[in-house]
Amino acid sequence: MKTSSVESTVLREACGIVGIAHSSDDVALPLYYALYALQHRGQESAGIAVSRGMSTDEDPDNRGAPVKEIRSERGMGLVAEVFSPQHLAALQGSMGIGHVRYPTTGAPLLENAEPLVVKYQNGEFALAHNGNLVNTRELRAELEREGRIFHSETDTEVIAQLLARELVEHDPIAALKEVMRRVVGSYSLAILMDSMLLAVRDPFGIKPLCIGALTDECRGVNVGYVIASESPAIDTLGGTLIRDVNPGEVLVIRASHTAGSRNPAGHRDLKLVRHQLHPGVPSAHCVFEYIYFARPDSVIDGKLVYNVRMKIGERLAIEHPVSADIVSPVPDSGITCAIGYAKRAGIEYLEGLIKNRYVGRTFIMPEQKTRDMSVHSKFNIIRANVTGKRVVLVDDSIVRGTTMRKLVRYLKAAGAKEVHLRIGSPPIIAPCYLGIDTPTRDELIAVTRTIEAIRDYLAADSLGYLSLNGLIAAVGIAPKSLCLGCLTEHYPVRIPGERCSTLQATLS
């Protein structure tokens, strides 16, 4: 679902996912803190689902049947607003998954919050999804013809219903392989099923997903695993990043089903098994994870995002030099890039804008005066830093340009002599269909105006976008391994009415 015109002046991510398998029975609190670390990826809703993850030998009173009960809690709002201490205390389990959501499909309603818990013929599972499918409509119609009833508007439920159908006849790995063959788009999944935690990344690796280990420092032994959209969620828990989940890979973390499976400390043993279901498909990592979405301290596909953004700023300074007194970022997205620009250009880095980080989500504001006030509530100007100065204002991207136009106007009203805009990405010339909430083509300023016309509209003294080659060099990943659809109009998967990259195609 596209957001209001006020919200869509910036790009928005789809969501963040996390999963934890631990040797003890208390994963709810670690999941809570891991979701905190991923809050930037979604602020509409949050949810946690847990399972005891027990094997049959650990539950002799259950007469040989594995414990399948999944407990969950979901709510609208930020992580701290959704979960109380009482909620977390009730979510007892050794395995669990969590989700923070920003909607690219489905309205902002509780039924669209995740993780989804699905009952099927042989049991139940919970699923959390980051990404966006492009063949949701066709798959949903097929499933509805079979008599399946949907309770949400999300593409996540389409994945869940497909998986439930395949699980009737196949084991989980075979079922996931069939689901991955059918769905087209981007997806990283965390799935909780019986005594298993599964991590799934789409064959192109469009959305990030990584795995880390949790260690008992006193005994020096592994006591659990964490899967997450970004590595800071692992860092928050004191874990160690192992690696990224490979494109097309499924990781299975399972509680041992062998007799005497508890270790000497009384904790369960955990096993990690990998399955490469779709090898040999060229990757297509989302380039905007490096430009904007991910936290600067994230390591994604072997690249520290902070270093990438520093290089973006440095290349901007090489490609678009200008005589100026200070370099100032649009916080928070432009900070690291601006530092790189200032360092390379030899110009003083000084903040001219301060962001109020406690402002909540914006909404439709019909009166111009009220809309202007909303921008003022987010950004305040340090007049002493900009008055009489030639300012280089650095940001990651320009979508519609409405907010940037106001910021330039505010800076000049505060006494800035000149405002030179430097943008850490090429112009956005096409929508994203793979998990970023972008406007339609006719709403994108770079589609409806030339760069010179954009500069005039923004009332800037100069405007410089980073070149595509400069961006690719800064990221340090070959262009054939990046999704650049919103910058080039060439997408890694086939989308009706759009061009598919000659280097990448859909799965057969």
Active site residues: 15
Backbone angles phi, psi at 465, to 5 degrees: -95, 145
Burial 204-227 (b: 16+ CB within 10 A, else e): bbbbbbbbbbbeeeeeeeebbbbb
| CA pair distance 181, 177, nearest whole angstrom | 6
> Do residues 150 and 139 lie in contact, with contact meaning Cβ atoms separated by under 8 Å?
no
| CA pair distance 252, 191, nearest whole angstrom | 9
| CA pair distance 83, 80, nearest whole angstrom | 6
Helices and strands of the chain, counted as H and E runs: 17, 26
- Helix or strand (DSSP H, E) at 172: helix 172-182
Strands 418-423 and 462-465: parallel
- Count the Cβ atoms, other than its own, within 10 Å of residue 79: 24
Burial degree of 146 (CB within 10 A; 0-12, 13-18, 19+): exposed
What does the DSSP assignment read for 260-313? T-B-TTSPBPEEEEEEE-STTPPP-EETHIIIIIS-TT-EETTEEHHHHHHHHH
Burial degree of 341 (CB within 10 A; 0-12, 13-18, 19+): buried
Where does 58-118 have alpha helices with state H? 79-82, 85-90
Strands 285-286 and 482-483: parallel
- Helix or strand (DSSP H, E) at 455: helix 451-458
